[in-house]
Amino acid sequence: MRHLKRVAKLNRTKSHRKALFQNLANALFQHERITTTVPKAMELRRVADRLITLAKRKDLHSQRLAFEVLRDKEIVKKLFADIVDRYSTINGGYTRVLKIGNRKGDNAPMAIIELTMRKEKEEKKEKAKGTKGAKAPKETKTEKEKKPKKEAKEPKAKKETKAKGETKTKKEPKAKKEAKAEKAEAKEPKEKKPRKKKEETKEEEVK
């Protein structure tokens, strides 16, 4: 029985487990949202919450203790300068775990662990407020001058359409004349041989 043994071993040695949570904590504070397995996410939540409460002291000793876990100066700066200010009025509940089902390959239960107050959400809210309140900028004189005048273009287009219509009307009589000539030629009867008169035929018979 595992009484009073709260650490999840995750089938790893102590040094391997320490390196694993160091990498996961760095990724969480850098991206503010990562995907991992459920057991790792549950253990990582404990590590991340303790680091955020440690950063609330904002003294040199707490920075050194955080650097001992994270081993990344840039992440420690972000933790003490940016992330902690969001949770100044909150005691606990800094991270959230959302289960997303099982992984296809080995059917491992997967989860998303994220900070409850992410910077992305704040930026989206600010952008939404800015788009609602902002008005379209007025056009300056130079911009109005640059824009092509539609009124000057419209008469040209009308002239072109008129010219096209005139050409069509001119072409149509020629085609009609040619069609009439062809029909007349088709209707004309073929040359008939002159018939001999009845008198001439009678004379020929008498002879």
Cα separation, 118 vs 32, in Å, equals 6
Residue 127: inside a domain: no
Residue 152: pLDDT over 50: no
For the purposes of burial, counting CB atoms within 10 Å of the CB of 189, is it exposed (0-12), middle (13-18) or buried (19 or more)? exposed
184 or 78, greater pLDDT: 78
Q: Directed axis angle between helix 14-31 and helix 60-70, to 10°?
A: 110
Q: Report whether 54 contacts 65 (CB < 8 A).
A: yes
Report DSSP state, residue 3: T
Residue 179 CA to residue 169 CA, distance in Å, equals 16
Is 200 a member of any domain?
no
CATH number of the domain that residue 98 is part of: 3.90.1030.10
Q: Is residue 198 part of a domain?
A: no
Q: Which residues form the domain of 78?
A: 14-118
What angle, rounded to 10 degrees, do the helices at 38-55 and 14-31 form?
A: 70
| Higher pLDDT among residues 124 and 5, named by residue | 5
- Residue 84 in any domain: the answer is yes
What is residue 194's predicted lDDT score, i.e. its pLDDT? 57
Is residue 1 domain-resident?
Answer: no
Q: Cβ neighbours of residue 8 under 8 Å, at least 6 residues apart?
A: 39, 42, 43
Task: Measure the CA–CA gap between 160 and 150, rounded to whole angstroms.
Answer: 16
Give pLDDT tens digits for 87-128.
Answer: 999 999 999 999 999 999 999 999 999 999 998 766 666 777
- pTM greater than the 0.75 cutoff: no
Which pLDDT score, from 0 to 100, does residue 13 have?
96
Residue 6 forms part of a structural domain: no
Assign 73 a pLDDT band (cuts: 50, 70, 90). very high
pLDDT (tens digit per residue) in 126-149: 777 776 665 555 556 555 555 555
Q: What is the 3-state secondary structure (H, E, C) of 70-113?
A: HCCHHHHHHHHHHHHHHCCCCCCCCEEEEEEEECCCCCCEEEEE
Domain-embedded: residue 76 = yes
Number of structural domains (the chain) is 1
pLDDT in tens, 84-94: 999 999 999 99
Question: Residue 103 falls within a domain, yes or no?
Answer: yes
* pLDDT single digits (tens) 41-70: 999 999 999 999 999 999 999 999 999 999
In this predicted structure, what is the pLDDT of residue 164? 56
